[in-house]
Chains A and B, each alone.
Chain A
Amino acid sequence: MEAVSFWILASGLLISATALVAFRNPVTNAVCLVVALVMQAALFITLEAFFLAAVQVIVYAGAVMVLFLFVIMLLDVKEEARRKTSWAKVVAVVGVGGGAVFGATKIATLFPFAEKTLHWGEGKGGGSAAELGKLLFTSYSPLFLATGVLLLVATVGVVVLCRRDPQ
């Protein structure tokens, strides 16, 4: 059951991510990104990170996607002009990347816990909102407060950047 859900979600995630890179229509790209983010949220659930799955859907698949779609709509972005794909570049990216992935998985197997299986429900927990909240408001509370300042600065920055000069 766990294996089946992992393989389905993993292939869905990889296929939608590949489609995001491959297709040229920006709205199609945005839809592919939504699918990929929802797949990732489902993978968080298989990892027993329930609160993060909810946050992923609300913040990424909700807010960030709406932002992307609004910008696509406002800018009236056209389909990217088809240009000659330099196959040397593609081969270089795939080659170097594939080698890096292979090396990374090889290095990962050096750790003793890499081969451990952990079945559903056997995790130590920590994925619920209550447990994460306890951590956030005790040991990580300075970071949490800094995040508030960051969001305020970002909001002010966006307003300043997007304002037209009053003439």
Chain B
Amino acid sequence: MSEGSPVMNFGEITLSHYLALSSLLFLIGLAGVILRRSLLIIMMSLELLLNAANLALVAVGRFQGLPDPQVAVFFVITVAAAEVSLGLAILVAIFRIRKTTAADQLASLRF
């Protein structure tokens, strides 16, 4: 490493910075999925996970000079929108029947 470790290098932004940011964002989203109990918040955290992956894809694409990752991110955003709409529809359907969106009260499939 030329100028210290990439985490300590504040002046020049490299691909490592974007990848570190992306993995931190993924970590926060993962913590949300694991620690929170509301299905709604879990879905919001899932969006954070997708965004972290998108950020990594765009960063790698730019630093490698490839436009194709941006196309992939475009499709990810489309699929995420469809996923959110379906997920929220399922959430509304569950709420109608069970009157709750707390994940630990929806354990009827558990042995």
Contact = CB atoms under 8 A, between A and B. Distances in A.
B63 A71 contact: no
Interface string A68-100: 100110110100110101000110011001101
Q: For chain A, which range describes its interface: under 10, 10 to 19, 20 to 34, or 35 or more residues?
A: 35 or more
Interface residues of B, number: 74
Given A90-B35, A117-B12, A117-B14, A104 B23 contact: yes
B interface SS class: helix
Interface in B1-60: 1-2, 5-7, 10-21, 23-25, 27-32, 34-38, 40-41, 43-45, 47-48, 51, 54-55, 58-59
A93 B13 contact: no
A interface SS class: helix
A75 B92 contact: yes
Contacts of A18: 28
B78 A67 contact: no
A116 B65 CA distance: 12
A14 B21 contact: yes
Contacts of B40: 26, 29, 68, 71-72, 75, 77
B44 A30 contact: yes
Among A26, A143, A158, max chain B CB count under 10 A is at A158
Given A49-B70, A52-B70, A116-B15, A29 B54 contact: no
Interface of B: 1-2, 5-7, 10-21, 23-25, 27-32, 34-38, 40-41, 43-45, 47-48, 51, 54-55, 58-59, 61-68, 70-71, 73-75, 77-82, 84-86, 88-93, 95, 101-102
12 contacts: A3-B12, A7-B10, A20-B44, A21-B35, A40-B54, A43-B21, A51-B70, A64-B80, A104-B23, A108-B19, A113-B15, A147-B75
